[in-house]
Structure 1
Amino acid sequence: MPTITYTQAATGFPADPDQASTTALTEGLQLAAKSPVYDAPGGQARAYLTPQISGVDLVMPIVARRDGWVAVLLPSINRSVGWLPAGGWTTRPLRDQLVVRRSAFTLTWLRDGVTQQTWTVTIGAPSTPTPLGRTFVLGRSSLPSKVYAGLDVLALGAVPDDKNAVDEGLYDAHTGIHAWYRNEFGYKKSNGCVRMPPAAQKVLLDQVASGTSVIVLP
């Protein structure tokens, strides 16, 4: 079976049944060791997941529980869930949620269900739209380009819906939330990432942990 990594996905997993739900996901799951992930409770194992991806602890939001099994949002596979049996993992509380509304060009940060701040952002261009549905903060990375205003990027579990449409250097990249060095927000201009004012990105980097759920709405 394949192992899901930053650049390698897997097939055969069910679609997230609540792709447009804004209900806060309040528990994250972290594996203790490499584990198979299934397409249903008691179903078929489709791939392996590991405790880390690219050196970052993998924390996946729990979206459902059934007969002792839990369903989590999967990394590197858009709008899909995988099932894990009991044991071999721990949970941690998730207090935050990020809601992106493409039509309004906004990102809203909520904590414990209460809106903290809303910012005007730039989203994916028509040919490379920001992927819709539920995903999560995979981790943070430092990129050398000055366009990120010297701030880390929050990499998401989501990937471009059409990898062939993005710039060549971003083919294996994940969708991200990052600062932008120019004061140009409220547009459809990116390769799918959410571009933030630098001051807003600093807030998210200070406050938001890996595993935080992100919902992208039309």
Structure 2
Amino acid sequence: MGLLGSDPAAAPTRRPRRWYLVALAAILGVALLVTLVVVHFAPRTRYAATLPRPAGPTAPAGPTAPAAEAPIPVPPAPAGLPVIDYGPAPKGFPADPDPLSTIRLAEGLHPTRKVPAYDAPGGRPRAFIAPTISGVQLTMPIVDRRSGWVAVLLPSANRTIGWLPPGGWQTVPLRDLVVVARDTYKLYWLRDDKLVRSWSVTLGIPATPTPLGRTFILGRSALPGAVYAETDVFALGSVPDRPDAIPAGLKGAHIGIHTWYHDRSLGKKDSDGCIRLTRSGQRLLLDELVPGTEVVVVDRFREPAPTT
């Protein structure tokens, strides 16, 4: 037998095979076309779950609301507690946490009724504070807050604070700050943290030094005698650090800011602890400063630039 296609007798069998191949190719082509159409138009969402999603930027966390402070109980105050007046304040109150700070205390507290003062929030009541002292409305600078309680600089005490519970008082804004520097014998008056004026002053002698630390203007009064140049005096919340060294005629007195009948002792130690300045300076401060204004006596102070 010869090779396929070389034998004439085999010719009738080759024609049907060629048609078979053509038919098979056509069927395969149709099947391929149908497959492509089905794949192209098939829904693709069913495959999405199997594909990894690209990592995007993490959304920033929103602001966290501050946790509300739990209220601190107010222990009852015995009716027989003393009332703080112009005399020495009762003992047992805590020390001022930052007595030499020259950062202005911008808010004061005025009692609207007699309120108890405690040695800590929720602590022990030590005394009552009334709306006035010697007929003068009382305003004390606020130094701290905690769960509705407020700490204030106490009158008739040096570098001491008391804590008042919520209620029975109102707040007032304080714009001014008086800084007294013992090294330069200067008094600086600042309003809204900007220097307004400064003056040379007289300070206390070594036996009765001008007390260091934060205090405040308690009120103003007129003292008899030509030595005060017929000008009112500011009484401060502070008292002499060494009350036994004070002359008998000044027993029970507070430290004050006032003028004097002469200016020869400005820039020196010549008082019983008070701060003396010129008559014109005192009159200007009397016109401008209100009760509750903070006064800080420090050893050194960097003089700020004056306002323009």
Provide the TM-score with structure 1 as the length reference.
0.99
Asked if 1:208 corresponds to 2:289, the answer is yes
Moved over 4 A (4+): none
CA distance in 1, matches of 2:89, 2:102: 25
Maintained 8 Å contact 2:88/2:157: no
CA distance in 1, matches of 2:126, 2:86: 17
| Match of residue 176, structure 2, among 87, 93, 96 | 96
State the Cα deviation string for residues 76-97 of structure 1 (Å, max 9, x = none).
0100000001111001100000
Report the number of matched residues.
218
Unaligned runs of 5+ in 2: 1-80, 300-308
Asked if 1:174 corresponds to 2:254, the answer is yes
| Match of residue 159, structure 2, among 73, 76, 79 | 79
| Match of residue 236, structure 2, among 146, 153, 156 | 156
Asked if 1:134 corresponds to 2:249, the answer is no
| Match of residue 188, structure 1, among 255, 269, 272 | 269
> Could you tell me how far 1:213 is from its partner in structure 2?
0.2
Structure 1 or 2: more strand by fraction: 1
> Could you tell me how far 1:11 is from its partner in structure 2?
0.5
State the Cα deviation string for residues 18-50 of structure 1 (Å, max 9, x = none).
001001011110001111100000100011110
CA distance in 1, matches of 2:281, 2:275: 12
> Could you tell me how far 1:8 is from its partner in structure 2?
3.5
> Could you tell me how far 1:201 is from its partner in structure 2?
0.2
CA distance in 2, matches of 1:33, 1:45: 16
Which letter maps to 1:109?
Answer: W
Which secondary structure does the structure 2 equivalent of 1:203 belong to? helix
Residue 13 of structure 1 corresponds to 93
State the Cα deviation string for residues 155-213 of structure 1 (Å, max 9, x = none).
00000011110111111100000011112200101000001100100110000000000
Provide the TM-score with structure 2 as the length reference.
0.70
- Aligned-residue Cα RMSD (Å) equals 0.6
Maintained 8 Å contact 2:82/2:127: yes
Which secondary structure does the structure 2 equivalent of 1:177 belong to? strand
Which letter maps to 2:190?
Answer: L
Unaligned runs of 5+ in 1: none
**Structure with higher RCO (Cα < 8 A, 6+ apart):** 1
Which letter maps to 2:182?
Answer: R
Asked if 1:36 corresponds to 2:116, the answer is yes
CA distance in 2, matches of 1:130, 1:33: 32
Query: Which structure has the bigger radius of gyration?
Result: 2
